[in-house]
Each structure stands twice: as structure tokens, then as C-alpha cells.
Structure 1
Amino acid sequence: MNPMRLHRIVVVISLCGLVISSCGKSEKISDDANLKPKYGGTLVYTKNSPPVTLDPALTTETESTIPCDNIFDPLVQLQLGKTGIAPALAKTWDISKDGLVYTFHLRTGVTFHDGTPFTAKAVLFSFNRQRDPKHPFHQGGDKFEYWKNFSMNEMIKDIKAVNDSTVQFTLSSANATFLYILSMQFTAIVSPDGMKKYGTQFYAHPIGTGAFHFVSWQSDDNLILAANTEYWDGRPYLDTLIFKAVNKSEERVSRLLSGEYDMIESPTPEKISEIENNKNLKVFKQPGVNIAYMAMNMNKKPFSDERVRKAIVYAVNREKLVEQVYGEFGRPAKNPIPPMLLGYNEEIRFTPYDPEKAKQLLAEAGFPDGFKTKLWYMPIAREYMPDGKRTAELIEADLKAVGIEAEISTYPWHEYLEKLYRGEHEMAIMGWIADIPDPDNFFYPLLDKTVAEIVPSNNIAFYKGEDMHQLLLQGKLATDLVARSKIYRDACAVFNRDLPWFTIAHSVVIVPMQSYVMNFQPYASYARKFNTVWLNR
């Protein structure tokens, strides 16, 4: 590690929701510790879709958040490879005994990429533009989706600058996840001067304090970032970081094999052995903090009928689906949270594959001959979903066997998301990657009734269960680890009683790269930061 790189004081939160021991071992890359890191070079990182925005407050998907992770910094961040909270733009903080007041002591001498100073005023600007509809840079009623889906206005009672290097947050009630939420990209600090200069075009001209600064962006292809040589945590090793977007997995793999790309995401399972057998490549693997699922829109009939939803779950052969789509890189899902999270309910049994039971439930619901519906599938591969179309075809065939005719279709990715969040679908395949390693990060945005009443909504089942809502409120307030665990185990049981989704799988995170890419260190979330990466060539 760069000797100039600032030593981080790591704070491990006792409320942490990640239980690593339950998920098996990661197959991490063993780089030679005797090699001395080198400065310089360009790394090309390839995903399956371009970013939608480079304004952190507007991000909703990993294609946007990963570049923003490298351009911007939040007040705090997840600890690399672990589950604690570490300092970022805040070097220390104090929490009142009642858990309501958080006082953050900010780093001094930090500048934005435009040369302007980072101060408490920038923190207030970044939060208030989302919090206050009258703020001159508030983007409108439906823009700040994460802010709304995490009920931030209800959570935060007040924010004030005590002085240039101190910010104080007062909460409406104690919240076990508040520090974790502040590590998320939508809370990152933006340059007030940059926002004033570019206005609504800031999304294409981002200015933060991160390890890399923006150079250029061709929206359908290259996003180019350059090293921030004045970065508060030490200059990154790379000179240049390029993000490319290639929709087809086969093409991403082919260009990785040819040496054109340095790192890729979402290879199809059948290509992984070819990558692993190539002496010029190496593969990072770890159990993903994720889930893939098929949501049934409960705002539309017949999915408001619990018997219909249960019939669909009985009708689909989950084990066959996971075997054919994921191979050895996925495990069938029975809870709405992955196995390594606090509150995962081991006692829940899988709803068995039982077509006759499905037919019986359909008849009881008034559909003895089945019904017609539409099933949307994801047009691109994701960490949790290697092949949306194949998944939809397998579900379609199983549903047809019990009399349900599901017409499968899709849309371009960004249009797909917009339509889902607005509830235009009947059934749809989707998934979630942890923003933070806590069960609340899955349950609340995806399954709470408060979120279902906000459009656009991450709760694409539009599930409004009162029992679930009450448990999730308790989970936010609980400060005892044992109590929180029981709350979320109970929430898993309520989910399996009501079945707003057909749960599909939890996948393995797979990141293939050239053998010369060194010190890649992922987080227990979707985050990908490249300030520690260097090239041994």
C-alpha cells in the first residue's frame, strides 16, 4: 500500500447485519504480497450497460453508482472486505446516548475536483437539495428515488453546520441503519459550485472529491476518469480509469480473452471455466449479497389474490431453473434476504414444486382453466441474473403446464426500470444487490408498504402488508443484535406467508480480470472502488 495513504480508523458497528460465516468462503485472488505497487497505466472495466447519470443523488442502478463511487465520497464508507463503517469525508463522529444526534467532524484541507474547498456548507448543500423541495437545485418530485425510498425526510429531523468542519444531524427517532445509509452513494457530497455551474447538466459534468475526476463521457460507450493527484486518501495508482458498456456477455468475454479489456462483469456461467483455464486471466469470486426474484404486481388482478400467488410459486420448478441458468454459481432462494444477513430464517422451508397443488389453488381462486398474463424479463445480465430471457422461458413453460399463459417480453434496460418502478407490469423478473450489509436494505425498499405508496417505487410487487410494515419499523428502531435478528426472522416468515414474489436465487459474484490487475478489493455491497488497484506490467 502507498505509504502516504491515510490510515483509516475502522469503526465496527455492533448492529452490523452481515454474518460472513454463514455464507461459505470467498475465492479471493492471492496477489504476490512481495510485489511493489506501481503507479501509472489505464484500466478498462466493462459492464453490460452505460450509466444513466453521474449525479450521485439520482443514481438507482450499479451502472451509475460504480463510476460515482470513484468520483464522489460520502461522509462514511463501508470497510473494505468487512462489515464495519470507516471514515470517509468525516474523520470522526459522535452519537448521543439516545441515538438521535450524530455529530460529524469533517476532514480539513480537502478540495473538490474544481479546486473549491470541501466544508460543512457543501454537506448541507448536498443533503438539502434532496431534502428541501424549495432548494434551487431540487430536481423535482420523482427524481431522488433513493432518498424517497429510504424515507430520508421522515428519518432526518434537522441538519445544521456547527462550524466549517462540523455537521450535526438530528433524527426523528433512533435508527439502527443510519450510519450505513450515510455510506451509500446517494448521500455523497457534490461540489456546490459545480452544481451551480452546470445545473441540470451536472449529471454529465460531475464534480466530487473522489479518487478520480471526470474527463469525458460518450453516453453509449466510453466514460473516462483520471487520477485525482490530490486525493485525501493518497493518489490512486492508476492514471486513467475507463468504463465501457457492452451488452452481450459473449463479446465482453471475447475481448477479455483477447486482452482488449482488463476487467469485466457478468460473464455467463458456461464461459467461466474457459476464463479460469486461461493462464493470462484470474477470477475473483465471493458469495453475493443479492437476490433474484419474480415480482407479482399486487395492484393488478389476479395477483391481489394470495391463492394465485401461491399457485404460481408451486407451479415453478425452482431447482431446475437455478441449475439451468446459474449452474454451480447460484443457490435457490427461499427468503427475501441472502443467507449471510442477520435475520435470515433457516427454519423456512422451500415451497415445493407441485403443479397439482398449483392447479388446485387456481381452481379455488376461480381460475380452473388458468388465465393469461404477461411476464417481463431483464434485457441484460446482472450479478444476480445471468440470463433473464432463459429464466423467463423456463417460468413460462412451467406456468403453461398449470394453465397460465404468460406472454414474455422485455424493454431496453432503462425503460424497463422506469416501467417497473411505475407499476406497469403484471409479473416481472428483477433483483437487488446490497447497498449496505443489513437486512433493512432489502426489506424496507423492496417490501414495505410506505415505499409501495411512492411512485416510482422499488417495491415492484406493490406489497402493502401491515404485519410486514410493523416488523420493519421495529427493525429500524431495535438496537439489540439479538432482538433485530428475531424481528427479521419473523419478517422472513411473513414474507413466505404472503408470497409477493417467487424467489429465484442468490448468486456468486464473479469478476474476471487480467492477471496483471492487482489489489482489487470489493466491498460487502455493489461498490467497486479502484483507488487501490494497480497494474503489474
Structure 2
Amino acid sequence: MRTFLLTLLSLPLLFASPVRAAESHDIRQTGFVYCVNGVVNTFNPQLASGGVVVDTVAAQIYDRLLGVDPYTYRLMPELAQSWEVSDNGASYIFHLRRGVSFQSTPWFTPTRQMDADDVVFSFERIFNRQSPWHNVSGGRYPYFDSLQYADAVKSIRKLDRYTVEIRLEKPDASFLWHMATHYAPILSAEYAAKLTLADRQEQLDRKPVGTGPFQLQQYQAGQFIRLERNPSYWKGKPRMSQVVIDLGAGGTGRLSKLLTGECDVLAYPAASQLSILRDDPRLRLTLRPGMNIAYLAFNTNKAPLDRPEVRQALALAINNQRLIASVYYGTAETAASILPRASWAFDSKAQVTAYDPDKARKDLQALGIKNLHLSLWVPSSSQSWNPSPLKTAELIQSDLAQVGVQVTIHPLEGRFQEARLMEMNHDLTLSGWATDSNDPDSFFRPLLSCDAIGSQTNLAHWCDPSFDALLQKAVRSQQLATRIEAYDQAQKILSSQLPVLPLASSLRLQAYRYDIQGLVLSPFGNASFAGVHRDSDEKKP
């Protein structure tokens, strides 16, 4: 994995030089600039655990078998035109769309259209440990590893050129929803075969080829990604010929770029900036409920945080209402569960953890906890689930100091965060989760199952077999009532054991220049930019 990351960091040598100021006029004529704070560790979302590649880039370069309608929250056809479910949810047949072309790039020219071979290759790489591609670029697939799908998938078969069957060892009612996430892109088997012959397999994840509306043209590490229009896109030619994803500024720097016109779209603006954005007639603002959760994870492998009573006492010291007011400025609601309230399995009886510092202090004393020093690891940049993680960390630090607990904050840069968390030396981690699935399993198993410890998405390192048994019961049933009952019980265990303290579920925010049209802000993540265009005839307000 280390070799792969070092290779990826050399990407600027593979592509052209950074965007120059003189080019900005051309960008305004033929495309738009999308500003988001993030770090790129790979261009293959199969290998990612979140971040800008999953939230923004994946929807532009790749397509999935299925999608999720951003308005109805229902599954919809993508590269699979239709599908069939049998064996009580253990067998799935996908009928593929015909006439879908892969992108032609300087590093690959396809000789055929997308078919079953590509689908089989894409999922064999993740689910089949014997595949020669499974260990390429490190062999870690965080999202699907947390679901243990390498053990759950029995077979992946090509039935004919446009039909694929996936059989599971046991029924799984959440399977189609996981196939609809951006972690499940369809890659080119032909491109992979070419790289195998050249013994350059890792290039598949650094220089991507997909079927999406845009393809990679340039990448400058830490600065920008330039995408160009895929002229053979199966849904029709995208309206803009290029998109520049600006990675180079955070916080007020990105806001300044939006106000000066250097950015056309600002993803995840800080909630404190809303009044500025609302008052500027040159800008528009979109707000939508988000399928996300911000939380504080306790490292349950370390004393005294291995004791639920200690975790409960610390939770009483955290003023969640102040977090909502000071960090989110009213653009989030206090979380009562690891599930957002928009989820169909949310327990309506769940209670937000009370704020009672006096009780917290007394409980810690009764538990014999004195002179407690904790390390809190926190991402340094804004996230879709938290516009200001460092400020949140400082507020938590202040709250815990009031009950005699000293907290040292350790900011983590994106590309190093995962490696540091793997060391398991932290006490607390401020994190979050956003998913493009409406199934509760997309929150529970990746974040809190025993298997998710190994995939590094369970930051609490918490394992409870009874909790896992309830998750398995839920996905084995096709009956909604049975699933809701199992998830209600699972949420009660989480409330009692408190491996993570849910903090907030935030609105998704997006600000953009007045002449930008066709942006779709989805609760599940950013949608395709294929329909985005600039309305030059629209009069400024």
C-alpha cells in the first residue's frame, strides 16, 4: 500500500502543469470550477473510504449498475437496465444496458462496448480473494470489506454478453443498495487486460477509465483535477466541455474564490458563511437534508474507554446544543442515533444524550477516574458531515476540561489520517459518515460491526457479537417489519454501550454563481455534472 501511495503522489509528473490564471477565461467559456476541500489518494472509489473521490469525482468518471433517485430515494436503473431477485434475496441477475462506451483517453482506447466481462471483472476484483487483481494497490476495499462481502458472495457469473448473475451465500436484503453506492463502479476489463500485459496494473487506479460523463484530463496533487467531456457518454453529450475541481483552498479561501468568481460552485460552505452567501445577489444557495452523521468515536480498546460507564460519563459532559449553534449555525440537528432521522429505520424513541456536566463529574469520580488525559484525532479540513471539525474538537476539548478531563487535539491531514488511525493509538476520533444508500445497513455494518475493525471503518474498534447478530438478522429478511425490529434492538445496544457518541446530522449545503444551472444536490452525495450549464442570458438579480 505504501508503494501505491508514493506512486500516486507522483501523478503530477504524469499530467500537464497546473491551471494558470490566464486559462480562467477559457474555463468560464467552456466549463465551470467546482471548489471542494479534499485529498485524492486514488481515483478508484473501490479503494476509498470516503472523501472527495467518492463524494465528487466518482459520479463524473464512473457509472454503477444501479443508482438512487435523489428525490424519491428509490433504486433506479443505470448500467443495469433491469434486475431480478430470487432465492429470498440470495440470487441477483442483472440485465445490462447495451451501447455503453468506455472513455477514450491518451492511455487507453477501447475496442468494444461495456458488457458482462466488465461487470464480472469489477466485482471479482473486490469479492474474490483469488483474483489476480484483488491485491493490486494494496488489496483493501474499505466499504465492502466492512460488509465482509468477500465471504458473502458465492459466485459472479456471466450468463451471456449482457447478463450477469451474482449469488450470495445467504440472503441479504441490503445487497442492491450496496451495489448502488459509488464504491461499486464498473471498470474496463479490456483496460485491465492491457495493463496486465504491460505489468502496470496499478495504473488502473491512478489513470482511470470509466463510462461516466467526464474523463480525467489533468491532475495536480493538492491543487486541482481537470475533467473533460466524454463525447460518447451513453446518456448524451454533457453540456459543458470541462470541469475543474479545485482542491487548493479551504475555509475562507474557498469563499473568497466564490465571491471573486474564481469558483463557480462551493461545496460544503461553512455554516458561519451562510449570511454572506444569502446576502450576495450574485450567488445562489441550495440546502437539502443529508444522509450523514457526525460522531465522536471512543477507542474501546484502550482503558478506561473500554468501560461503557466511562463513555457514558464523558458523553454527559459534551454540550451538543452548543455544537449545533456554534459549528452548524442551525444547519443540522442534534443526533440521537447513528442513523439520520431521514432513515426509515430511525428509532423515533431514541433520546439525545443529555448535557449534565455535574453528573459527568460525579460519575467519573465514582468510577475512580482522575487526572484523565485523552488524545482527540480530528480531520483538519471541512467534511460533508461537519463544516468545521477543528472547531468542533476545540468545543469538545473545552467541555471535557470542565469535568477535569484534559484533551490534546491532533489534527490529521487527509492522506495520513487513515494510516494514523490504523495504529490504534488514539483515544477519541471525531469523524462522520455519509452514504449514497438509503439502507440502514450502509451505516451500521461499515461503522460498528466486528468485521469493520479490520477494514478500518470501525474507528471505535468495538465488537459486540449480539449487535452483529441483529445486523445479520436484519439483512437476512425481506420483511420490512422484521428489519425495523432488529434495527430498533441494535440502536438500543448502541445507546447502552455507546462506542460512538452521535453528534449531528447536517444539511447538505452548496453555493454557486447565479449563472450556473442544472446542479443536482443529492442527500446521498454529489450527482453527475452532465446537465450543468451556464445560462449567459440570465439577468443578474
Q: So what's the TM-score if we normalise by structure 2?
A: 0.88
Partner of 1:339: 341
Sort the Cα spacing of 1:216 and 1:158 in 2 relative to 1 into closer, same or farther, 3 A: same
| Over 3 Å off, 4+ runs | none
Q: Is the 8 A contact 1:314 1:355 kept in 2?
A: yes
Counting aligned pairs with the same residue, the percent is 28
Q: Is the 8 A contact 1:204 1:217 kept in 2?
A: no
Q: Is the 8 A contact 2:34 2:263 kept in 1?
A: yes
In the TM superposition, what is the alpha-carbon distance from 1:188 to its structure 2 partner? 1.0
In the TM superposition, what is the alpha-carbon distance from 1:75 to its structure 2 partner? 1.1
Specify which of 167, 187, 192 is matched with residue 189 of structure 2: 192
Deviation per residue, 1:179-220 (Å, 9 max, x gap): 111112222111123234352122221001111122121122
CA–CA distance in structure 2, aligned partners of residues 138 and 246 of structure 1: 33
In the TM superposition, what is the alpha-carbon distance from 1:143 to its structure 2 partner? 2.0
Q: Does 1:85 align with 2:75?
A: yes
Partner of 1:282: 284
Q: Mind listing any 5+ residue stretches in structure 1 that lack a counterpart?
A: 1-38
CA–CA distance in structure 2, aligned partners of residues 44 and 307 of structure 1: 49
Q: Is the 8 A contact 1:81 1:522 kept in 2?
A: no
Partner of 2:149: 152
Aligned length in residues: 496
In the TM superposition, what is the alpha-carbon distance from 1:40 to its structure 2 partner? 7.6
Partner of 2:413: 412
CA–CA distance in structure 1, aligned partners of residues 348 and 423 of structure 2: 33
CA–CA distance in structure 2, aligned partners of residues 199 and 428 of structure 1: 34
Which residue identity lines up with residue 380 of structure 2 in the other structure?
A: P
Q: Is the 8 A contact 1:290 1:384 kept in 2?
A: yes
In the TM superposition, what is the alpha-carbon distance from 1:161 to its structure 2 partner? 0.4
Partner of 2:110: 115
Q: Mind listing any 5+ residue stretches in structure 2 that lack a counterpart?
A: 1-27, 104-108, 537-541
Deviation per residue, 1:326-369 (Å, 9 max, x gap): 111121111111001012112122221112221232223221x3
Partner of 2:14: none
Partner of 2:493: 494
- Give the SS at the match of 2:145: helix
Partner of 1:449: 450
CA–CA distance in structure 2, aligned partners of residues 139 and 75 of structure 1: 23
CA–CA distance in structure 2, aligned partners of residues 182 and 40 of structure 1: 37
Partner of 1:182: 179
Partner of 2:93: 103
User: Could you tell which deviates more after superposition, 190-199 or 40-49?
Assistant: 190-199
Q: Does 1:213 align with 2:215?
A: yes
Specify which of 295, 304, 307 is matched with residue 305 of structure 1: 307
Sort the Cα spacing of 1:414 and 1:505 in 2 relative to 1 into closer, same or farther, 3 A: same
Q: Is the 8 A contact 2:373 2:405 kept in 1?
A: yes
Sort the Cα spacing of 1:423 and 1:82 in 2 relative to 1 into closer, same or farther, 3 A: farther
User: Could you tell which deviates more after superposition, 193-202 or 227-236?
Assistant: 193-202
- Give the SS at the match of 2:246: strand
- Give the SS at the match of 1:489: helix
CA–CA distance in structure 2, aligned partners of residues 132 and 437 of structure 1: 26
- Give the SS at the match of 2:526: coil
Mapping of 1:181-330 within 5 angstroms? Answer: 181-195=178-192, 196-197=194-195, 198-330=200-332
CA–CA distance in structure 2, aligned partners of residues 138 and 381 of structure 1: 32
Deviation per residue, 1:456-504 (Å, 9 max, x gap): 4111001112332121111111212222222222222211111112221
Q: Is the 8 A contact 1:77 1:85 kept in 2?
A: yes
Partner of 1:72: 62
Which residue identity lines up with residue 535 of structure 1 in the other structure?
A: R
Q: Is the 8 A contact 2:89 2:478 kept in 1?
A: no
In the TM superposition, what is the alpha-carbon distance from 1:97 to its structure 2 partner? 5.0
Q: Does 1:348 align with 2:367?
A: no
Mapping of 1:7-86 within 5 angstroms? Answer: 41-65=30-54, 66-86=56-76
- Give the SS at the match of 1:359: helix
In the TM superposition, what is the alpha-carbon distance from 1:421 to its structure 2 partner? 4.4
- Give the SS at the match of 2:114: coil
CA–CA distance in structure 2, aligned partners of residues 524 and 437 of structure 1: 9
CA–CA distance in structure 1, aligned partners of residues 29 and 118 of structure 2: 31
In the TM superposition, what is the alpha-carbon distance from 1:289 to its structure 2 partner? 1.2
